[in-house]
Structure 1
Amino acid sequence: MLLLFPPQPAPPSAPSAPPMASGGQHLYARRKTKHEICEAYLAQLAKRDDLDCSSPEFKAQVRAHFDRLPTRYALDVNIQSLDVLSHKRLLDEARADPTAVSFAVRPVEIMQLPRVPRNRGHLPKPAFGSSPNLQALALEAAQADWIGPGSYNASQDDQSSSNHPDGSADAVAFYEITVASIDQPKLLSRLSEALSDLGLNIREAHAFNTSDRFSLDVFVVDQLQQQSMAPTRPASPAVDDWEIDITQLQIDAKVASGAFSNLYRGSYCGQEVAVKILKDVQDDTSQYQEFLQEVSIMRKVRHKNVVQFIGACTRKPNLCIVFEFMSGGSVYDYIRREGPLHLSQILKTAVDVSRGMDYLHQRKIIHRDLKAANLLMDDHAIVKIADFGVARVIEGSGAMTAETGTYRWMAPEVIEHKPYDTKADVFSFAVVIWELLTCKVPYSDMTPLQAAVGVVQKGLRPGIPPNCPPALADLMRAAWAQEPQARPSFRDLTPRLQGMYEASKQEEARQQAAAAMAASTAAMNKSSAAGSTAGGLLAKLRGR
């Protein structure tokens, strides 16, 4: 289904083109079957050097993707690009979590302008080509750079990109938004309304339903600013150096979902990033204030063991925070995926967290929600502290009273709304070490409220596992002491943990060497025994 919002008449100067299908293919392509187009697409992929598509499993998945979609999808989609694989990935993500919506956004080039400014970057074509009406719209937008019919203002080549129709503020910037989700009543209408609420003009839309009841919707949109209606443009407000250019941000896939925000993997200016996007936030809500507070804190910190802030968009409707992508995921997921960890792994993680927390506390920042789920790992297994949504800077008296965080990790003084300081994070850190030792959720046999009451009224603490080294057990008991002043600081904890970590590495190396020696000795004894048996058998045979 092809929709135009609204149709744009082609100007007399619009270039003529041969008869095309709505997806940019010549009409003769419509005589091909869906199977033939799929095989042609696989043949195109086989020619690429940057993609391994030779496995039978990969080919079967691509064929299944085409089979689930209607024939017009195969007829219209651009098989010269990787768009089909992008559509397949989005649909696969939607199938993996039917409650979620997977989407991708990218700038696209509708048509080649008569002369391309030198500062214009290469943009991909839309996945389904573009209709003549959409090309006419792009050509009409380019008239600002033309002096008259058949002539071009060459002096504009040296001006800033804001004077060219290449996606800048003064012209039309076209974007392709692809959405995959389980099929629902009036889905296309709801998506159209949502894009309109974001201030986007829908210029073209392609909607497809799969045989397993999912939907793939592709929109081409723009944000057109009519200069003729605003001859004098007001001065732009000052932009901080960390305020991102939203047009350079590409969203690829959802990583996690929370009550007030979703986390996505994407790219910003060519760098792989993680993007935290807020949900339905208003200016007067506490969530919006926490968002601004998180941005304020993250832009101040830079440490090896704190997730790196890249930038943020604080202008509605695109409220988001961009930070480095941590390919290893959360420590919470890692310990449940890998099972019990070696002592050296536990202590290495504890050292990383302690160093990062010491850095934050030296800058008077309290995290207030320290737990394994808020610790992330990069591809070198370095652990970094993340999620500063409820973090605060200590001011004035240096104490707070607000109850915030997660009950199972919360210090008793925080639960009771008593004044607290950085020692509340130390308490939570001790519970994190228990998480690492057991790979479990603390007080899993209780409700969060029952656990909180037990911590405050009965001095309840998680049971220290029997395999925990005595020195580490003593550290945990000190860190989750009932009275905050009895707990050590991270400045004290870091060297103690570092010493335990070095000792554990040496002990594990000694055990590995001993095990290797025992295995080698056993192999030699086995070989010697086999040789003796063979020699005795040979002697008997000779005696005969």
Structure 2
Amino acid sequence: MGFLQKQSWLKQHSFSPKRDYEKMGTNAYQNYVAIPNDGTDVWEIDPRNLKFENKVASGSYGDLYKGTYCSQEVAIKVLKPERLNTDLQKEFAQEVFIMRKVRHKNVVQFLGACTQPPNLCIITEFMSGGSVYDYLHKQKGVFRLPSLLKVAIDVSKGMNYLHQNNIIHRDLKAANLLMDENEVVKVADFGVARVKSQSGVMTAETGTYRWMAPEVIEHKPYDHKADVFSFGIVLWELLTGKLPYEYLTPLQAAVGVVQKNLRPTIPKHTNPKLAELLERCWQQDPALRPDFSEIIEILQQIAKEV
């Protein structure tokens, strides 16, 4: 957010305690209760209150640690200082801007961020169950149909919430689905998510090729239906425990998806209604894909029948 934008944003959203308290007393038809603002951002975290325990993962962006913040278990994503170019800072700002507004039981809860370079980090609830990807590939876990449906419904509810708030995730895949200690699955990792532009047009190559909708691969304008395509691939991952197009490089997969209508093979014993949902989610034409509110209904219907 540029300085001027921030100024005008603050103007719209700022409170002067004195002024607002005076108004509260006199103005009975005020349309909301003014909560005074002490001028500090509620989500700005003092690094002195963070304790780092062990490193959980590392990626190109930096490292993920388990730790505590004011004695609650948290995950701390630390951006590598040497990678801190303007692009990464922009992505960081983007992620904080999106996450601080988001609250849903199937979306990993953002707790705050340290925003003073060079130590930029994002603090979220800690998900002790790890990722669905690790469960499938490292623990060689399999989901029986009832638990597969529960996972799929959790993810759909989280995604439906994001879409209702005009947020497109853009990098939906099993590795970005995390499980808590009660096996509730939550959508994570908003590094490349975007608030849908009012024009409704978004272009940019992002996400991971194997999960990516054809319109995204081709740099065409796209919308929230791109996430539905990726969700179809995720459903297939849950069903098979395999990597999509494992015999192809990511680039070959991308070319196949766009030019040859390539899709993963649905196992022949798949529940027919689930197979039909998969096919609909990965339609080439985004308009033919269901949205998540419909997906939730379909999955809940299948769950009733199994």
Shorter-chain TM-score tier: 0.7 to 0.9
- Give the match for residue 122 of structure 2: 321
- Give the match for residue 289 of structure 1: 90
- Give the match for residue 240 of structure 1: 41
Quote the Cα distance in structure 1 between the aligned partners of 2:196 and 2:169: 11
The structural deviation recorded for 1:466 is 1.4
SS at match of 1:251: strand
Quote the Cα distance in structure 2 between the aligned partners of 1:466 and 1:436: 15
Q: Is the contact made by 1:281 and 1:288 (CA closer than 8 Å) also made in structure 2?
A: no
Aligned 1:340-379 pairs, distance under 5 A: 340-379=142-181
- Give the match for residue 299 of structure 2: 497
1:334-387 CA distances to partner (integer Å, 9 max, x unpaired)?
A: 122143221011111000000000000000000000000000000000000000
- Give the match for residue 438 of structure 1: 240
Aligned 1:33-432 pairs, distance under 5 A: 238-280=39-81, 284-336=85-137, 337-432=139-234
Aligned letter for 2:217?
I
The structural deviation recorded for 1:401 is 1.1
The structural deviation recorded for 1:281 is 5.3
Q: Is the contact made by 2:214 and 2:257 (CA closer than 8 Å) also made in structure 1?
A: yes
Aligned letter for 1:388?
F
Q: How many residue pairs were aligned?
A: 268
Quote the Cα distance in structure 1 between the aligned partners of 2:251 and 2:101: 34
Quote the Cα distance in structure 2 between the aligned partners of 1:262 and 1:484: 35
1:456 equivalent among 258, 271, 276: 258
Q: Is the contact made by 1:400 and 1:420 (CA closer than 8 Å) also made in structure 2?
A: yes
Q: Is the contact made by 1:282 and 1:288 (CA closer than 8 Å) also made in structure 2?
A: no
Q: Is the contact made by 2:62 and 2:79 (CA closer than 8 Å) also made in structure 1?
A: yes
Q: Is the contact made by 2:61 and 2:83 (CA closer than 8 Å) also made in structure 1?
A: no
The answer to whether structure 1 residue 486 and structure 2 residue 288 are counterparts is yes
The structural deviation recorded for 1:495 is 1.0
Aligned letter for 2:109?
Q
Q: Is the contact made by 1:376 and 1:384 (CA closer than 8 Å) also made in structure 2?
A: yes
Q: Is the contact made by 2:81 and 2:119 (CA closer than 8 Å) also made in structure 1?
A: no
Structure 1 unmatched runs, 5+ = 1-236, 505-544
Question: Quick one: higher RCO (CA 8 Å, sep 6+), 1 or 2?
Answer: 2
Q: Is the contact made by 2:136 and 2:241 (CA closer than 8 Å) also made in structure 1?
A: yes
The structural deviation recorded for 1:284 is 4.7
Identity fraction in percent = 63
SS at match of 1:346: helix
SS at match of 2:81: coil
Quote the Cα distance in structure 1 between the aligned partners of 2:132 and 2:292: 20
Larger radius of gyration: 1
Quote the Cα distance in structure 1 between the aligned partners of 2:179 and 2:194: 23
SS at match of 2:199: coil
Aligned letter for 1:285?
T
Quote the Cα distance in structure 1 between the aligned partners of 2:140 and 2:108: 23
1:462-499 CA distances to partner (integer Å, 9 max, x unpaired)?
A: 00011210000000000100000010100111111112
Aligned letter for 1:243?
E
Quote the Cα distance in structure 1 between the aligned partners of 2:272 and 2:158: 25
The structural deviation recorded for 1:503 is 2.1
The structural deviation recorded for 1:319 is 0.6
CA RMSD of aligned residues (A): 1.3
SS at match of 2:264: coil
Structure 2 unmatched runs, 5+ = 1-37
The structural deviation recorded for 1:304 is 0.4
